[in-house]
Structure 1
Amino acid sequence: MDSAVNWLTENSDMLLHYAVQAIVAIVILLVGIRIAKMAEKLTKKAIEKRKVDKAVGSFLANIVYALVFAATVLMALSQVGIETTSFIAILGAAGLAVGLALQGSLSNFASGVLIIILRPFKSGEFIDAAGHSGSVSKIEIFSTELLTPDNKTIIVPNSAIMGGAIVNYSRQATRRVDIMVGVSYDACLKETREVLEKVIKSNDKVLNDPAFFIGVHSLGDSSVNFVTRSWAKTEDYWAVYFYLQENFKLALDEADISIPFPQMDVHLNKISEK
């Protein structure tokens, strides 16, 4: 016990020195984290003022936070006496090993950078990518967040998005609404065309330019299949689609034009016993 007390007495100055350094390092770390969060918020605000895509702002803000946080950690380590130059060299060597082990994460990061540069989609646009559909909520460093029409959040890795086809439903101002309608072989084709045309013209959300098209698509097993191709603004697509589907059926019923369903005729032959 006496030896421990003597050691503490003899080394009190050294212990006090290291204690002060440790406290300063902790303060630097805490202040640095706070500064990193402030820098992240300021970056977002600055980008919003320039009316840049929100997804891009979120991505850049995350990078700013990571850089400031990394600088803070290096300053805190330097304060407690760790040589940062050799530490950075060690980190570089370790980073190579970690990079090989985390190829998927690095691929996600690189894909996130490509998304920002190539801009295949932006915040608010409705896309289909990596087998998922939804509106782009935000683009993070490693993943992209989608919001589905039924209000579910889907987080998709950036590498999965850039590794396949991306369908952007919102990029163009207009979309074509294709609907197939099958009618009986007994129906008058001219009358059927007139009925379908009347329904299309009754919807003021259907664009006049480009003009709509109605034609016989195919002669099916049990029906003559008409295809209707109407154009609408992208935001009106589903309203036009559901309107035409419902009113085609109502108008055809009113005109006594039947819409057949698949059916099979079965013939029974009686075999006489010998």
Structure 2
Amino acid sequence: MTTTAVTDIISQTTNTEASTVTDSIEEIISSAMNSSATETDKLQIIMSAIGNKLKASIPDLIMAIVVFFAGIVITRIILRIFGKCMSKANADMAATSFLKSLLKILLYIIDIIITLSILNIPMTSIIAVLSAAGLAVGLALQNSLSNLAGGFIILFSKPFKAGDFVETNSASGTVESINILYTKILTVDNKTVYIPNGKVADSQIVNYSEQNKRRVDMEFGISYSDDIERAKELILKLASEHELILNEPEPPFVRLGVQAEDSLQIIVRVWTATENYWQVKFDFVEMVNNAFAENHITIPFRQLDVHIS
């Protein structure tokens, strides 16, 4: 093949419109490979065709990059506005976190689709690729999809909200947030536990914060030789003096509950505000222990008497 022929083939790619460059490149490569040109000439033709294609695509490529990064910025702005709107509406923090995570993924998908369309990739091809990718991801991430569904169940059934103290899946602590796949719980010893939403939705949930009052149940043992009525009077007196113990929904309850092997067990039930539960429990145990010691009421311990004849 002469130099003039090679030049004529290369010029075809320069004079071709951008919308038909891909077809022209295929034709030029086919013509070059079927020609009698030397390997060097064939390589020159192919490289020139590719170069012209890139030159023709540069404007669209630059625009696609600009639109992609602009989409990221717009996504962040929308998420910020969404968060402020949910905050003004006094929406639950856990629900807000879940919806923001979902909205973020949807906006990124839209951004990618718009970017690909600018590169003149047919929408049918984009949809086909997304469908195939969605099917593949769905098969590979079946557990993750169940966690996503679990997140929706938690969001709409509302067994708890951010800030509640709950117990589920052998973990107990304060709910920090509900994300797309996991519920974040902060334990009392400051450990962060991430529990899959699917397991949370399918398991028993104990919410200690939903009600504004809780009953504190306690037991105190005294010796069989002690005055049980005196012990009950001391406990009732302490309950009436504690400022955090309530008389509603019922006054303090103090009764003999169990005649154990080595002690008489006095059952005590008092009510308090939910946030004061642990303070009342610890305070009352210490107060009863001190009162029993001051009034010479024996706090028994397990012992064994051996009689030798």
Shorter-chain TM-score above 0.5? yes
1:215-238 Cα shifts (integer Å, max 9, x gaps): 111111110001100000011111
Structure possessing the higher relative contact order (Cα contacts under 8 Å, 6 or more residues apart): 1
Q: Point out the structure with the larger helix share.
A: 2
Deviates more, 1:209-218 or 1:77-86: 77-86
* 1:24-35 correspondence runs (5 A): 24-35=63-74
1:27-68 Cα shifts (integer Å, max 9, x gaps): 222222222222211111110011111111111111111111
Shift of residue 97, structure 1, vs aligned partner: 3.4
Give 2:181's match in structure 1, choosing from 119, 142, 146: 142
Which letter maps to 1:48?
S
* 1:85-234 correspondence runs (5 A): 85-209=124-248, 210-234=250-274
Partner of 1:239: 279
Aligned residues: 269
List 4+ stretches of structure 1 deviating above 3 A. 1-13, 266-269
Partner of 1:77: 116
Structure whose alpha-carbon radius of gyration is higher: 2
Q: Does 1:249 align with 2:297?
A: no
List gaps (5 residues or longer) in structure 2.
1-39
TM superposition score normalised by structure 1: 0.92
1:199-249 Cα shifts (integer Å, max 9, x gaps): 111201100122110111111111000110000001111111111010110
Change (3 A) 1:138 1:10: closer
Deviates more, 1:36-45 or 1:189-198: 36-45
Aligned equivalents of 2:154, 2:49: Cα separation in 1: 61
Aligned equivalents of 2:304, 2:165: Cα separation in 1: 42
1:153-178 Cα shifts (integer Å, max 9, x gaps): 22111112111110111100100000
Shift of residue 11, structure 1, vs aligned partner: 5.5
Aligned equivalents of 2:55, 2:306: Cα separation in 1: 99
Deviates more, 1:27-36 or 1:196-205: 27-36
Identical positions, percent? 37
Shift of residue 198, structure 1, vs aligned partner: 1.3
Aligned equivalents of 2:128, 2:136: Cα separation in 1: 13
Which letter maps to 2:126?
F
1:183-204 Cα shifts (integer Å, max 9, x gaps): 1011111111011111111201
Question: SS where residue 136 of structure 1 aligns?
Answer: strand
Shift of residue 24, structure 1, vs aligned partner: 2.3
Partner of 1:272: none
Aligned equivalents of 1:89, 1:65: Cα separation in 2: 22
Change (3 A) 1:180 1:11: closer
